[in-house]
């Protein structure tokens, strides 16, 4: 695991865990046409938002995870954090919700002051954020949840009921589990295309076309000036 980011002041005993899949596996699972450039851009974006929240951040990449299933890998990572007793609550995010903001993280942390489980529901039945306290975490049933399926929200509700754990919800958001969903998300949130493009430039990965039919040059010509009406015309050309 990467070192936890140090802050002079910590708003609470809250850790933001950025839980990332191994890059090649991410490309295969989501079929990103732009390969490593897209995965690394989305990873950078998630880590950037996490750090801007003001909470300590721990980035756990695929090669640092233990277990054969997603539930085992995430359960093990949470168990490690809570065992150290430094943090009493953890906010878990991935890289698949480009519209995630620091406000989502801060709201979830506030809710965890009076509940044990906070979920940011994705519209496909999954979640884009999980907030959980040490008191609300039980490793074995946690690992058995239907991770990475449309039944996850229902599974987490059942988990909450069986463990008598209070549950609170954030507002729903869209995640991007493939190229088409990311395309739609970028159309809805115009600033994302600029941020992702700049991150990809920083990776020096060469040409990148975030949307079908849009060239790098077309995006670069207006890196900071996207506004309502002109954007659809640009993206659809």
Question: Out of 97-101, 142-146, 173-177, 201-205, which region has the weakest mean confidence (pLDDT)?
Answer: 201-205
Same domain, 137 and 36: yes
Residue 86 has a pLDDT of 92
- The residue from 151, 169, 187 where one domain ends is 169
- pTM of the full predicted structure? 0.73
Same domain, 141 and 113: yes
Q: Specify the number of domains making up the chain.
A: 2
Same domain, 103 and 214: no
Residue 84 has a pLDDT of 92
Same domain, 92 and 131: yes
On whether residue 1 sits in a domain, the answer given is no
In this structure, are residues 32 and 179 in contact, taking their beta carbons and an 8 Å threshold?
A: yes
Residue 219 has a pLDDT of 33
Same domain, 161 and 186: no
Domain that holds residue 119: 14-169
Same domain, 142 and 209: no
Residue 93 has a pLDDT of 97
Instruction: Indicate the pLDDT class of residue 36, thresholds 50, 70 and 90.
Output: confident
Q: Average pLDDT of 49-71?
A: 94
On whether residue 3 sits in a domain, the answer given is no
Residue 174 has a pLDDT of 74
Residue 33 has a pLDDT of 61
């Amino acid at each position: 695991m990467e070192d936890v980011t140090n802050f002079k002041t910590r708003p609470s005993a809250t850790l933001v865990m950025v839980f990332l899949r191994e890059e090649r596996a991410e490309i295969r699972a989501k079929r990103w046409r732009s390969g490593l450039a897209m995965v690394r851009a989305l990873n950078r974006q998630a880590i950037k938002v996490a750090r801007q929240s003001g909470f300590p951040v721990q980035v756990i990449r695929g090669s640092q995870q233990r277990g054969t299933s997603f539930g085992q890998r995430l359960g093990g990572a949470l168990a490690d954090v809570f065992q150290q007793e430094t943090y009493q609550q953890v906010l878990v995010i991935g890289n698949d919700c480009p519209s995630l903001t620091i406000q989502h993280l801060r709201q979830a942390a506030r809710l965890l002051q009076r509940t044990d489980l906070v979920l940011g529901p994705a519209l496909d039945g999954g979640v884009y954020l999980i907030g959980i306290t040490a008191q609300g975490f039980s490793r074995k049933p946690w690992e058995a949840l239907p991770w990475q399926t449309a039944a996850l929200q229902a599974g987490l509700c059942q988990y909450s009921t069986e463990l008598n754990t209070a549950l609170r919800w954030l507002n729903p958001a869209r995640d991007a589990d493939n190229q088409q969903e990311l395309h739609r998300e970028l159309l809805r949130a115009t600033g994302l295309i600029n941020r992702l493009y700049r991150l990809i430039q920083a990776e020096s990965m060469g040409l990148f076309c975030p949307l079908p039919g849009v060239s790098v040059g077309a995006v670069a010509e207006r890196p900071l000036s996207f506004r309502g009406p002109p954007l659809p015309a640009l993206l659809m050309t």
